[in-house]
Structure 1
Amino acid sequence: MLSFCLSILLLLATPGPTNTLMALAGYQHGWKRAAPLISAELAGYLLIIIPVATLAAPLFEQRPVLALWAKLAAGVWVFFLAIKLWTIQPQAAGARRIDWRSVFVTTCLNPKALIIGLVIMPRGALAALLPWLLMFALLVLSAASAWILGGSLLRREGGSARTHTLIHRIAAIGLLLFATLLAGAGLRAVA
């Protein structure tokens, strides 16, 4: 269990699309209003991890092209998010905020979910996985809280509209880099 916890924490601490959104949500909403988004992250991870660990792992091992298509789909979604973050005007009336749906969909498409389901999570029946899934939920709660807290601490510093735009642009660049890595890995596998 210790090895499992350390592996999950290391993966969840790594910057990626979901973590970027959680930090940005903390920045946009503050800790109290962004905290409910943790349920979107957890739901997104579990929606992918449970079927992968219980049913799909053998299929992905037999047909690696399916995992490749999953990575490409994730790359497209993350690229789409990066473009939206780059073009958003944070101070504009009605500016789009990070919401439950965007965190949920991003987490479902996050390749970390596949890595957890295929590599880290033990395989077996759902009942056998329950203790592991409970520990995973606690680790997601901890990591997501840290990312939201980081974003909310930036919010406390205040700042002008220019600072808000800069924060969104930095997050967009991070997402764009992640999307490029995903797409590059997928295209290299095809070539």
Structure 2
Amino acid sequence: MVIIGLGRFGQSLALELMHDGADVLAIDRDEDLVQQFNGRITHAVLADATREDVLRQLGIHEATHAVVAIGDSVEASLLTSSLLIGFGIPHVWAKAVSDAHGRILEQIGVHHVVHPERESGVRVAHQARAQLKDYIDLGGGYALVRTTAPAAVLGKPLREVHVRSEFGVTVIASKRADGRWVDVSGDSVLSAEDEILVTGPIEKAERFHLT
């Protein structure tokens, strides 16, 4: 996981990902911040992420997941995000400092725009690591996640799949192709286009879409 920017949001995200066992490469232009995180995360690098040649030297163009957590310069945020999108990185998150900033990030192709005043670094860490569309910690070791329906449950009534006994989670709703959310029952049949809401123990809920 690549994190560009070690401000408060980037720090929270990096430490949560490390806690969960992920490899983290963090980039910042502040030497003091980089030194502070040396030894606390996998790699902390002092570099200018707005330069394409620098990102390529660091191998960022080959990454699959990257988060632009730059908050002190909208220009740097947009330039860096544009470079990552240009590299073809399949999962790019970017922090927005305003609604207008967020709209521009969406327009240049950022896949997930994050508003830190609404979303914590911990929440985004779970979304990024497990490639979830949304994640809510319910407390007590349980979570509610929004994700795609996994292959293991497609094309047959859910009661025949035994979701709860086999996977330890509960599917509570699905979003159809027309955008409607509907309650799920044992007779429900899911398709690959459906989004679903799943609740259960955090690790099981996060991993369910991979089954």
Shared fold (TM-score, shorter chain, > 0.5):
no
- With the length of structure 1 as denominator, give the TM-score of the two structures: 0.20
Which protein is bigger by CA-based radius of gyration? 2
- With the length of structure 2 as denominator, give the TM-score of the two structures: 0.19
Q: Tell me which protein shows more helix as a share of its residues.
A: 1
Larger relative contact order (Cα-Cα within 8 Å, sequence gap ≥ 6) = 1
